Amino acid sequence: MVPTHDRALAPVQSPETDVDGFVGAFLRELNFGQGVSLARASVNDQHLALARTVRQYLMARWLEAIAQQRKNPVKAVGYLSAEYLLGRQLDNALLATGLVDVVEEGLAACGLSLDTLRDQEVEPGLGNGGLGRLAACFIDSLATMSVPCIGYGIRYEYGIFRQTFVDGRQVEQPDTWLTLGGPWEFPHPESSQLVNFAGHTERFTDEDGVERTRWVPGWNVLGVPYNYMVPGYRNGRVNTLRLWSARATKAFDLEIFNAGDYAEAVRAQTFAENISKVLYPEDSTPQGKELRLQQQYFFVACSLADYMFEVLHSTFDPAALADRIIFQLNDTHPVIAVPELMRLLVDVLKQPWDKAWAITRQCFAYTCHTLLPEALEVWPVELIGRLLPRHMEIIERINAEFLDEVRAAFPGDEMRVRRMSIISDYPERGVRMAFLATVAATRVNGVAALHSELLRDKVLPDFSELWPEKFINVTNGVTPRRFVRQSNPLLSGLITEAVGDGWVTDLDRLRGLEPLADDAGFRARFREVKQANKTRLFELLQRRDGYDLPEGSMLDVMVKRLHEYKRQSLKLLHIVTLYESLVSGRVDPADIVPRTFIFGAKAAPGYRMAKETIYLINSVASVVNADPRAKGVLTVAFPANYNVTLAETLIPAADLSEQISLAGKEASGTGNMKFALNGALTIGTDDGANVELRQLVGDDNFFLFGMLEPEVAALTERGYVPSSFYEADDDLKRAIDLISSGAFSGGDRGAFEPLVSNLLHEDRFMALADYRAYVDAQAKVDAAYGDQEAWSRSAILNIARCGFFSSDRSMRDYIDRIWHTEPV
């Protein structure tokens, strides 16, 4: 027995790691946690009990990491992100603890299947795409590298929508990921933070005779933290992800309820909970814009207060804050944290303004994830002033002092001053959040070499001229634990047999595969793995979506957010070109390399052109798949609701990865890395991280096409006329004419008129300009795929040469160049 006075210090004991120990812990959790016997337990009971049992194996390490950080505090990373696209947690926890075999055997002894319980888990839809998945990869790597980190974000009740198709059109359904329980989260309402909104400010003199500003809020909400464990890979380290859920400060008015006005009695609760209800509310309305800003301020206010007043000791000297924490701003969504930290330092902790600003400028770093001007958030001054009046005052003073700095550096250049002002005057007064982040941050980084160059030279050129030392590159990466070791066990086994198991945490060891690319036996085994992964995918899509996909075809995959710059329309034009050549009789079916095309994409609910593109893809798929002339030659599949779970089965099966954005528009991309690491070849433009991917794997193992970024800029400058490309290319003309003819819309010639008109008269992302180069590159793909020995060699070299794209390497770059933190 531990003496009573020592129990608080006693280490938490995990269950025994043998089969008997697991079975005992699982049955106890089923009986006492779920309140059912094994004989009466539903599949969901069994799943929840399994999840809670597995998390017990992580608990001791997690609590130890928290205690260690409190006892011996070292500099940590506070990762501020509006998105975390985590994926399912069970397999990740089993991989981190090394318990897969024990759990499989233990469940079998209970008459249960791990596969069945695994399929019961619903992944949290807390992200929209690459931004959220990158955040999840980064916190995984930091835990694996034993670097203290706390991730902060929002616990969206519904997250991103669940995509369904009705008559080929996208229909959004609520993503009810919490309906059957959330066994991986730990709520702590006792640690809730109060978050204020609206109201006004007033000046007053404090007891020391110092004139200060007080924020008198108009209303407030509570932020309730939900903690998630972030386990490192078999290293004993478990970090924390803390997600905030909004609650009303006064959720229920009994007096109003008793008076019979039941809706009004819970109005405050409904109003408050809207803040964390859904990921990225549709913001084409003023109400939607305001709710988005509420979300952003809500989570950073909770997070900064949590760190400043819960994590740090009450006697901590704010002057040393930069020695304890670096807050990484994951894009512009959390940038309102800059004036919030100033408010805490000046108004709450009573630091002098200049000292507070010096502290703040050491505590933030900013990652920009875009080159599209519309994606660099600008909030109306009127909205911030109404919703966050104190913050608007702080931003105005930051801007005034910054512009004095600009005038001192560039005297007499008032045009530069206007360009660099954090507050813009046209078309309405607005706060440019990327500018605010750049002014406040110690470093500003892009996420691929080309992106960082364009960010420095074209997006923020005035700032890079003022502070050239601020701008650096950190190319993105992906975690090899989830996206190779976990999602592709057959390939992982082949790699481990060849180079040992150290590659899981040191991806550069994949270089050891390079000589094996010339080994015919190894190439044959690689093809067996790829075929087995295809079979696994086809079985899943048959169960999940009802697809019966043909064996023996090239698997050509394009999965990413639906956006015009990613150019799903260009991929579709290629498919229509192949189909038209087949049905017109101009090409013999025997001369077409059989292909199965798979799309996966969600369109933002208010993005009309993207949703019309989804409708066209599904319409083409319906016609092509029903045409006996295309049977066994061309197949098109668009499984609904693409997510991390589907990606883990789809990516290992792919032969060809489509990375075809217009050069100069994609920041990085991480899908390109995942596909290459799983043995797919890439067809792509020199855009984002494609540039580094091509340089690493070699031109012979990458299908490059399209204009380079300077050529895109030159064509824009000359004046791009997309219809001229249509008129000059017979194949392109036939493809677009076939779409316009009603062939894919039951004879309705107007069904796709908005898309066709956009391509012919606007085509902002130049799909028609790159069409001929793309189709020609696809012909080279066909020729290469016909030589399976050479194709397999190139695929193995892709794997061997892509160790650079580990998120562990990305984290080392952040640590060395930006954060200057140390592993524990």
CA 223 – CA 321 distance, rounded (Å): 23
Burial class (CB in 10 A: 0-12, 13-18, 19+), 700: exposed
Q: Which of 557, 527, 537 is nearest to 791 (CA)?
A: 527
3 state DSSP class of 659: strand
Q: What number of CA atoms fall less than 13 Å from residue 315's CA on the CB side?
A: 0
How far apart are the C-alpha atoms of 107 and 114, rounded to whole Å?
Answer: 7
Distance separating alpha carbons of residues 672 and 686, to the nearest angstrom = 12
Place of tokens 């933030």: 364
> In degrees to the nearest 10, what's the CA dihedral of 664, 702, 705, 786?
-150
Regarding beta strands 595-600 and 634-637, do their DSSP bridges make them parallel or antiparallel, or are they unpaired? Answer: parallel
How far is the C-alpha of 648 from the C-alpha of 91, rounded, in Å? 11
Active site residues: 369, 560-561, 566, 670, 674
Q: How far is CA 510 from the centre of its chain?
A: 25
Please check whether residue 490 is in contact with residue 532, taking contact to mean a CB–CB distance below 8 angstroms.
Answer: yes
138 with 191: CB under 8 angstroms? no
Greatest C-alpha distance within the chain: 90
Residue 560 one-letter amino acid: K
**Is the separation of the CB atoms in 618 and 640 below 8 Å?**
no
Buried-exposed string 223-236: b where 16+ CB fall within 10 A, e elsewhere: bbbbbbbbbbbeee
CA-nearest of 98, 193, 727 to 736 is 727
The answer to whether 637 and 597 are in contact (CB under 8 A) is: yes
How far apart are alpha carbons 703 and 698 in whole angstroms? 10
Contact 50, 26 (CB under 8 A): yes
- The residues near 367 (Cβ < 8 Å, ≥ 6 apart) are 328, 329, 330, 331, 444, 445, 446, 447, 474
334 Cβ neighbours under 8 A, 6+ residues apart: 80, 81, 82, 296, 299, 300
Burial class (CB in 10 A: 0-12, 13-18, 19+), 779: exposed
